Amino acid sequence: MPIKVAASVQSSHIAGPLPASRDLLTGARDVFKKACALLHRLSKEAFPCTLDADEDFAPSAVLVHAGHIRAQMELVPSEWGGLPEPAVVVGEITQAGWNFLSLGHACEPPQFPMTVQEAGRAPESS
């Protein structure tokens, strides 16, 4: 017996408008650039290094998942006293991370095709 699936979703169940694929790709490029910048910044730091800025959380997660750094989330004492705050504590840059840094030019974000038509085309040479 086939399973029936609702064919429509009421707008009240969606938390907002869904982003266009172009917006998702732009966001991916931004995170990639930030992750590369963070890796370069970390290459000049002593380890363990604590990252507690909100803007470092997503790029550090990208670097951990790519295997470029070894890090973990920890609660660290607040600079102002009070309750501990979450932070990423980077233990080291892995060999894969150092290899990536040695490429230099690899920190340019990949050019994702923006449309189905562009996906089938060969990249333009300059």
In a domain, 60, yes or no: yes
Query: What pLDDT is attached to residue 78?
Result: 82
CATH number of the domain where residue 76 is located: 1.10.10
User: What is the edge-to-edge ordering of all strands in the sheet holding 69-76?
Assistant: 49-51, 85-93, 69-76
In a domain, 14, yes or no: no
In a domain, 74, yes or no: yes
- List the chain pLDDT tens, one digit each, 126 residues: 444 433 434 444 445 555 555 555 567 778 888 999 999 999 999 999 999 888 999 999 999 999 999 999 999 888 788 888 999 999 999 999 999 988 876 666 555 555 555 555 555 554
In a domain, 126, yes or no: no
Q: Which amino acid is at 88?
A: V
Query: What pLDDT is attached to residue 27?
Result: 72
Query: What pLDDT is attached to residue 120?
Result: 53
In a domain, 9, yes or no: no
Determine the Cα–Cα distance for residues 43 and 102; give it in Å rounded to an integer.
11
- Look up the domain containing 67 and give its range: 21-104
In a domain, 67, yes or no: yes
Determine the Cα–Cα distance for residues 47 and 125; give it in Å rounded to an integer.
41
Report helix, strand or coil for 88.
strand
In a domain, 8, yes or no: no
In a domain, 36, yes or no: yes
Specify the number of domains making up the chain. 1
